[in-house]
Structure formats: C-alpha cells, structure tokens
Structure 1
Amino acid sequence: MSELLTVADAEQLIRQAMPVFGTERVALDAAAGRVLRQVVRAERDQPPFDRVMMDGIAIATSVGGRRRFRQSGLQLAGMTQQTLDDTDTCIEVTTGAMLPRGCDTVVPVEQTRRDGEHYLLAEGYAPAVGQFVHPRGSDCRSGDVLLDPGMRLRGPEIAVLAANGVTEVEVAAMPSVTVVATGDELAGVDQPLLEGQIRGSNDRALAAALRVRGFDDIQLARVADDLVATTATLAELLRTRQVLVLSGGVSVGQRDYVPEALRMLGVRQVLHRIAQRPGKPMWFGIGPQGQVVFALPGNPVSALVCAVRYLLPALQSATGLAAELPMQVCMESAVDTSPALTFFVPVRVHHDSTGRAMATPLPPGTSGDFSSLPRTHGFVELPPGLAFAPAGTMATFYRW
C-alpha cells in the first residue's frame, strides 16, 4: 500500500498537473460571468465631450454678477453641439447633453426661476466655473487600458465592453465536464426503487456545485460495477470530453474498477489516497490528450468535500475564475480529530457580537450521511496532530 499524501502535497500535485483550457471568442451578450483573456482599451476619450451633469441652464461665467439670462437655445442629450453666441443669454440643457460652445458652467434648474423667456438665478446663488460639468477625457483617454486579462466579466466590466464597441470578447474556454456515477445499487431519481437500491444523488450534487461556480457544459453518466463496462464508458468519454468527475469505484474493494480501467486507458495517475477524513481514497490523473480525471469517493460527504477542496479550485484556476478565498473561523465547541489525518468537519457559521466568525461543528454520523448537510454552510479543515480540537481552535473554512 502506497504512503498517504498530505492534503498540501495533493493540492500542489493537482495544481502542477492541471492543463490550460485555452480561449474562445463569444458575443458580448454571452460573455457575462466569463473570464476575460484580452486587453480592452478605450475606444475614445470618456466622456467624449464635456458632458452636462444636471438639468438646468448653461452659461458663461465671464459675465460677472449677471443674474438674469434670456434663453437663446436648447441642448438636449444626443443633439449636436450648440453654440452660445451672446454671453448675456443661456442655453437650456439636460443631463447627458454636450456642454454648448461658449459655456463653462451649468446652473441646476433648482437654482433658477423662469420669467417668460428669461431665467433668473436664485438669490444668493453664485455659479462657479466647471460646476456640474463632466470634463472630456476625465474618466479615461483614448487608448487607455480599461480591462486586463483575468478579470471576471460582471456588470461593470460588461458596461465597459459595450461602451467601447466590443461586440465579441476573447474569454477563457470553459471545459466540457461529465460527472460519472458508478455503482450497481444506483437507481434514477424518477425510477422505482428495487430491494437493495438507492437513488443516485452524488452526480446531481457535483454537477450543481460546478454549475453555481460558472461551469455549464456538464453531462451526467452512469456505469455499473463492471470492469469491461467501466472501461468502455470511460474510453468514450475520454474521446469526447475534457474533464471527467467520477464518484465511487475508486477504493480498494473487489468491485472498485475505476483505477484499473483508467490505467488500461492510458490515464497517468498523479495521486491516489490522501491522509484525510473523509475522502481518503481520492484519485486524480491526466489522460493521454491532457484530459483531466478526478475520481472521488462514492460516499456523499466524501465526494462533496473532495470536490470543494480539490476539484473546484483546480478548474477555477485553470480557467481563470477567481475561487472564493477560504476564511478563518473560530470553533465554538470541541470536535474529535486525528493525530494522523486531516479532518474535514461540516459546520454552521455565524458571527458573534464582536463580528468574529464562529463555527458550530455538525459532524455527520458517517461519510454517507448527507441528509444533515443542508443545515451547514461548508466545512472546516483541521490539521493532524491531536485527537481533538478544543473550543477556540482557529480553522480554515470552505463553503459548499
């Protein structure tokens, strides 16, 4: 039996072996949530003209002390630029319009009073040069770098792309993923249960965890505990898909055929078995054409823990997606651990009166007990060394 890897060593081996999935160009309207893989520069100065920021009147402040202005024109948003020919007059303006030529300030409509064709400034109001004017190029200049590769395209980034005429965006390609459930005992969600059967849930849980983190090209597959069937199914998937996530069949039982099938198909084993609980039997390897294979334990808690701790961060890193940083929490009560294994314990997190993040351990009865997980927010990682972690222990928290 090979020596168990530490969690840190397993994480490093996975990170070093992961491929890069390349890039693709997508329409702007399909780019939300993707990771940018190009430099985006300003198409022109922004704003491209001196922009009016308030409804009101535009005047020239060179007419010192003048309080009464005849309206000589109108400048609406979207109109070509008007000109103030007479400094004794004003031009009525709206928010977003170009500042008329010859004007250097905007007086908000609230600071004026209409008297026929004239505008009177409010008593005591003194206009200043440049007020309520968004100067041309004050946000950015033509050619300035606005977005860098690696940025997640959210609302603000999409706005920048649209405002600068980017209709197609180069983004990180998202890999095709198939989640494979193994086991003779598994029945479909909509199938009647026979004696000895359970409904498959790991594949749905793993697919959901992937989807909520931005991976949407996901398929589900199922294979029985049979070497020939397992090998044939995996061979086809390796031919057509970039990432395989298996659940079950990865331990050392007499019907655990996944490692042998992968070896026969030329998938290079990077690691197998980690000094952790749950999830010790986890397997990871790289296929002949760079396919990625995560073979997770079949127990539901083990599968989800391994997915959150290894699978999801690895795929997020390979595609440029920023993974949620784990945070430090304080254990609210003692919990059993192990001198030899890293322990992952489901917890519920809240903040105390000082704002400190506190974790209440809710360990499942076994690694197959997933019914209690909805009452938790994630799990903490407790390093080996002691038989238990006392209340007050600081631990790293990972969200489901």
Structure 2
Amino acid sequence: MISIEEALNCIESQQNIFKTEVKPLQEVLGFALSEDILAPFDMPAFDNSAMDGYALCGLHQQYTIVGEIAAGDTSNFVLEDGDAVRIFTGAKVPANASAVMMQEKTKVEGVNLFLDEMPKAGLSIRKKGAELQKGQLVLQKGHVLNPSSMGLIASLGMDKVKVFSKPRIHMITTGNELVKPGQPKLEGQIYESNSFAIAGALEQFGFQCAQQQQVKDDFEETKKSIQKSMETCDVLILSGGISVGDYDFVKQSLEENGVQELFYKVFQKPGKPLYFGRRGDQFVFALPGNPASSLTCFFIYVLPLLQKWSGHSNLGLPWYAFPLQHTYENKFDRPSFLKARIASDGVEILDGQGSSMIQSMALGNALAFVELGQNFKKGDLIKCKLIS
C-alpha cells in the first residue's frame, strides 16, 4: 500500500509518446496546443477607432467634417489641421489623426463639428501592436484551448491548429449484482451507476468514453473483455472486481493480459483498493466498485493521467482553501477525501460519507481533504478540490 502522494507522483511521472494532430479551429475546444503560437502580425494590425465618433486632426473644439470612414474601408485619408472625419468602431484611423471623440460628446451643424470638451491626444485610438506585436508569444505549448483562446487564434487568421490528441478511453464495469437502469431487478441486485458517473465526469473535463461494456464476475469473461478493449484503447477504466474477494477477478485478468502493476492500494478513504497499471503506451485504472469511491478516484487520480496523456501543462484539479462552517473531527483511520459543499460563507462537510453513498456527492460540489487524525474548528481553512 502506498500513500496518496506516492500514487500521484507515480501517475505524473509516466512518460508518454504524445500523439499530435492538426484540427480545424472549430473542433479544438478542450484540446492542448502541441506547439507555441506566435503572432504572425501586429494586433491591431493598424491604428483603429475604439468608438463611433469623429477622427480629429489637431486638438481643438471645432472642426470641418471632410468625409467618413466605415469599418473595413481601405481608403487613406490625409487630414489637415482642423479637419475631422466621421468614423466607426474598428475603422482605420487616418495616419495624422490626433484623437477620436465619441459621437455623444459632439454636435454637428452642416459640415461643422463642435465638441463638448477639449480632446486629449490619442483619445479612443487603438494603436497598432497595442495587444500583440509580430513574433510575440501568444499561447504556449500545453495551453488548453477555451472559447476565448479559439477566438484569439481566429483573430490571427488561423483556421487550423496543431494539438495533442486525446486518449481513446474504454470502460468496463464488473459485477453479478449489476442491472442496467430501465430493466427489472430482483432482490439482491442493484442498478449499475458507475459507468454513467464516470462517463459524465469524462465529458465534464473534455474527454469521451469511446466504448462501454458490462461483464459478470467471471474470470474468463473479464479476461477476454480486457483483451478486446486493449486492442484499440489508450486508457482502460474498470469499475469493481479489484478487491480481494472470491469473485474479484480484475487484477488477475490484467496480469494475464500483460499489464504491469504500477501500484495497488492507496492509504486513503474512500478508494483504498485502487489499481494503476501500464502495458506499453496503454494505461489501466481499476477503480473500486462503490460509487463514491469510484468517482473520487476518478477526480483525484484518473483525471491527471488523462490530462498528462493529452499534453496539458497543468495536471489535476487545483487545490483551494476555504473556511469550515463547523467543527470537524476526522475519525477515519486514513487520510480522507470528504464530500463537501462550498457556498459563499465557506465549506460544509456533508452527511453520508460512506463509500457507497453518492447522493451526498450529487448534492455537493467539492472534495475536502483531511489528514489522519486532523481536527478542525469552525473557521479553520480546509483544503478542497472543486468537482462541479
């Protein structure tokens, strides 16, 4: 059995053969850049107006209007002192313009323009290169693309981006007691839920489960299902069958399929019987069958591996510290990840901390972490990871 820190270090130290691909810009949300992006030109590429108003030559309160410039107009106006042109937001400002005055602070009588106040030099002019200069680093390799960065890349004239590929993920749930939702169940059976929770968590963080299957607690069936999945997947996630009971066949089945165990069992609660292994460039997680344990292990351990495989520069959910709304004593015999809810006035440790209890996780939005024997007073800061 290893510590939480040792388990995380093992995951983060794995060396991958990263795969890259070129994707259309509209398809790269959530992908990580596989190369730096440099500005191909100054941005803005030319001095332009930040307002609808008038571009002014010289600093006065009265001008003669000599024309109009719309956004996209490529004309080159040359103004003389005392001249003004009607101009619109984003339009190219004449080279010798001193300022742009917004239209709300002007009055027009024929071709005469009167200002309510004296303009200041450079007012409302977006200068060439003010945001980015040609050759400047725009986004760094490993940056995970979000809507804003997609818009930024589009503004650079790029319609394709080189990114790290995401892993092909398969999932297998095991258990004789499991029944698919929507089907009748008998006494002693339960509805299978882990595949829905894990698939949802994958999607929440920008990944997809390419294939799901459910198998009985049978060694040969489990072994064959793992063999078939590992023909095409990059990461295999199993749920259940990883403990030491008479019907837990996952660990042996993985060994039979040539998977090298990297660690098995972590000194934590919930999720002690967690398995992590590797075969070549493929990775395997065998998660506990209890719903809260399974989902907790996904957030803490599976997610960082998926992010590392995908070229992310930052791995795992970040830690935050929030004041506790009440006293808390950790009576568990291991360091614990606790289902919690964060609100504006702090964090609450929820009832229903059992590893089979998922309602408290559904009602919460965080995992709070407590060390073995650690106690808290109301108002003490407690470490948390936001999970929704």
> TM-score if structure 2 supplies the norm length?
0.91
* Residue deviations 1:153-210 (CA, integer Å, cap 9, x gap): 1232112210111111111211111121001111111222134321100111111111
Q: CA deviation at 1:285?
A: 0.3
Q: Distance in 2 between the 1:102 and 1:368 partners?
A: 72
Question: Which residue of the partner structure matches residue 150 of structure 2?
Answer: 158
Take 1:263 and 1:319, find their aligned partners in 2: how far apart are those partners? 26
CA distance in structure 2 between the aligned counterparts of 1:318 and 1:9, rounded to whole angstroms: 19
Partner residue, 2:94: 100
Aligned pairs for 1:104-143 (under 5 A) are 104-122=98-116, 125-143=117-135
Which residue identity lines up with residue 266 of structure 1 in the other structure?
Answer: G
Q: Which residue does 1:69 correspond to in 2?
A: 63
Question: Pairwise mapping of residues 48-59 of structure 1 onto structure 2 (< 5 A)?
Answer: 48-59=45-56
Pair 204,20 (structure 1): closer, same or farther in 2 beyond 3 Å: farther
> 1:217 deviation in Å?
4.3
Asked whether the equivalents of residues 340 and 347 of structure 2 are also in contact (C-alpha less than 8 Å), the reply is no
Q: Does 1:345 align with 2:331?
A: no
* Deviation of the 1:143 alpha carbon: 1.8
Shift of 1:229: 0.6
Structure 1 residue 92, shift from structure 2 partner: 1.8
- Equivalent-residue separation in structure 2 for 1:280 and 1:127 (angstroms): 69
SS at match of 1:156: helix
Distance 1:128 1:371, change over 3 A: closer
Which whole-Å CA distance do the structure 1 matches of 2:79 and 2:364 have between them? 70
Report the Cα distance in structure 2 between the residues aligned to 1:335 and 1:232, rounded to whole angstroms: 46
Between the aligned partners of 2:321 and 2:331, the Cα distance in structure 1 is: 18
Cα 1:88–1:324 change in 2 (3 A) is: same
* Cα offset, 1:228, TM superposition: 0.7
Q: Helix, strand or coil: the match of 2:31?
A: coil
Alignment match of 1:359 (pick from 348, 368, 372): 348
CA displacement, residues 281-328 of structure 1 (integer Å, 9 cap, x when unaligned) = 1111001x3211000111112111211221112222332444331223
AA at the equivalent of 1:7: I
Contact 1:10 1:271 in 2 (8 A): yes
Tell me the amino acid that sits aligned with residue 107 of structure 1.
Answer: M
Give the equivalent residue in structure 2 for 1:232. 224
Report what 1:305 is aligned to. Answer: 296
Instruction: Identify the residue that residue 328 of structure 1 maps to in structure 2.
Output: 321
Aligned residue among 223, 231, 253 for 2:245: 253
1:389 aligned onto 2:375: yes
Show the counterpart of 1:91.
Answer: 85
Aligned residue type for 1:94: F
Partner of 2:282: 291
* Contact 2:338–2:349, Cα closer than 8 Å, also in 1: no
Pick the aligned partner of 1:243 from 232, 235, 254: 235
Provide the rounded CA distance (Å) in 2 between the counterparts of 1:87 and 1:336.
77
1:42 lines up with 2:39 in the alignment: yes
Tell me the equivalent position of 2:11: 14
Contact 1:381 1:396 in 2 (8 A): yes
Distance 1:148 1:36 in 2: 7
SS of 2:114's equivalent in the other structure is: strand
Q: 2:383 is aligned with what amino acid?
A: T
Q: Which of structure 1's runs of 4+ aligned residues deviate more than 6 A?
A: none
The one-letter code sitting in structure 1 at the alignment partner of 2:287 is L
Q: 1:56 to 1:188 in 2, by over 3 A?
A: same
Partner of 1:377: 365
Cα distance between partner residues in 1 of 2:4 and 2:139:
36
RMSD between aligned residues: 2.2
> Is contact 2:11–2:304 with CA below 8 Å preserved after alignment?
no
| 1:399 counterpart = 2:382 | no
How many angstroms apart in 2 are the aligned matches of 1:264 and 1:160?
49
How far the C-alpha of 1:46 sits from its partner, in A, is 1.4
User: Quick one: distance in 2 between partners of 1:72 and 1:49?
Assistant: 21
Larger radius of gyration: 1
Q: Aligned partners of 2:82, 2:11: CA distance in 1, in Å?
A: 74
2:322–2:382 CA contact under 8 A, matched in 1 = yes
Q: For residues 58 and 50 of structure 1, what CA distance do their matches in structure 2 show?
A: 11
Structure 2 match to 1:204: 196
Matching residue of 1:319 = 310
| Stretches of structure 2 lacking an aligned partner (at least 5 in a row) | none
Aligned residues: 383
Give the share of equivalent positions with the same residue, in percent.
29
Q: Equivalent residue of 1:348, what SS?
A: strand
Query: Displacement of 1:131 after TM fit?
Result: 1.9
**Cα distance between partner residues in 2 of 1:350 and 1:95:** 41
